[in-house]
Chains A and B, each alone.
Chain A
């Protein structure tokens, strides 16, 4: 399973997302997902930067605003 598909699972399956927070290895194994050490690190970091204080994921509009005027 690719990183993109894991992100999709995480965004559409709240049980999986919750378990990933507490038991990442178990959650991934249960879904038969194999990610490299590096991929897990990228995802964890990406998740940290994409999670609001209320625990919800940020939207595309918010991501776009973060990089407003880069060019």
Chain B
């Protein structure tokens, strides 16, 4: 499937997500000014048609998973809308906690504290969308499973975030485990929720959930690479409060270096914040250990494992092929 076709699917889904949120919003007993603040903040965070990126493709996961598991034409848009709101809220909180510039929070009418409050509002709206499904003409057991899964996976994501925030230095295995909890759980949820609404075939549902989990790990690795994009583009390591111990190339390098060299490498990382010229030295260390090959191997591994979970002849072929197409675009194998 061509990228413009995928882009058009994403835009349609996004439009439906906004219409769904708006229709629920009309009935919420909150003041019109606060509704307006929430609405404006949502619009500010949402992707613009002219700035389409591959990460937007993940918005298709709930619907495609539903279709892959044989769902009818009546996909509940509340699932995509709720997941999208959780996505925005989690991204916002992550950005605020990391003082990240991924979401340009500084140049907005809201303070960081206000953004945290808005993120909490998104969580509650998402929860309202999901619980409303219980009053509609959907299988109650499936809706209950989806609700439970949202709670459990989001808590798992919070656990991963807690590990990320509280750990100074990760071993390679604990870092990968943290990525799985932080991001794997979240994208697994997107696929599980759509698939579970379509079927009671828990084997198929599990396949989709596992697919999402591996995609989540891929996205987290790409997030780490994004830090490199910015530095290559000329952003000084000084200008960001990046913790270079929490980046896959660093974690890998610290894992494989002989003990006598680890100390020297740590010294370089510790100096990065105050001496930007150390950046070249840092780059030389990670290149010398083969971090690039390791990252490419990990991306290959996660993508292959994700594909493996879609090799199920009970899945609907068009949705299955579209999910693979999205995966291929994410890992640059299209």
Contacts and interface: CB of A to CB of B under 8 A. Distances in A.
A57 to B, nearest CB: 6
B291 A60 contact: yes
Contacts of B289: 8, 11-12
Nearest to B252: A4
A61 B228 contact: yes
B226 A71 contact: yes
Nearest to A58: B292
Interface string B299-326: 1110010000000000000000000000
Interface in A33-56: 38-39, 41-43, 45-47, 49-50
The secondary structure that dominates the A interface is helix
Contact of A50 (B53, B223, B232, B292): B292
A10 interface: yes
B292 A8 contact: no
A8 B332 CA distance: 24
A20 to B, nearest CB: 12
A49 to B, nearest CB: 5
A70 B330 contact: yes
Interface of B: 53-55, 102, 172, 222-223, 225-226, 228-229, 232, 249, 252, 255-257, 283, 286-301, 304, 330, 332
B252 A50 contact: no
A57 B290 CA distance: 8
B296 A64 contact: no
A3 B172 CA distance: 11
Contacts of A42: 297, 300-301, 304
Contacts of A43: 297
Given A41-B304, A71-B223, A62 B229 contact: no
A57 B232 CA distance: 19
Nearest to B173: A2
Nearest to A51: B293
A8 B228 contact: no
A46 B256 contact: no
B228 A7 contact: no
A46 B297 contact: yes
What are the 3 tightest A-B residue pairs by CB atom distance, in nearest-first order?
A: A11-B290, A46-B297, A64-B228
Contact of B54 (A4, A5, A39, A70): A70
Q: Which of A11, A67, A68, A69 has the most CB of B within 10 A?
A: A67
A56 to B, nearest CB: 11
Contacts of A10: 290, 293
Contact of A47 (B286, B293, B304): B293
Contacts of A62: 292
Contacts of A3: 294, 297, 301
B55 A70 contact: yes
B290 A7 contact: yes
A11 B288 CA distance: 7
B279 to A, nearest CB: 11
Q: Which of B172, B287, B290 has the most CB of A within 10 A?
A: B290
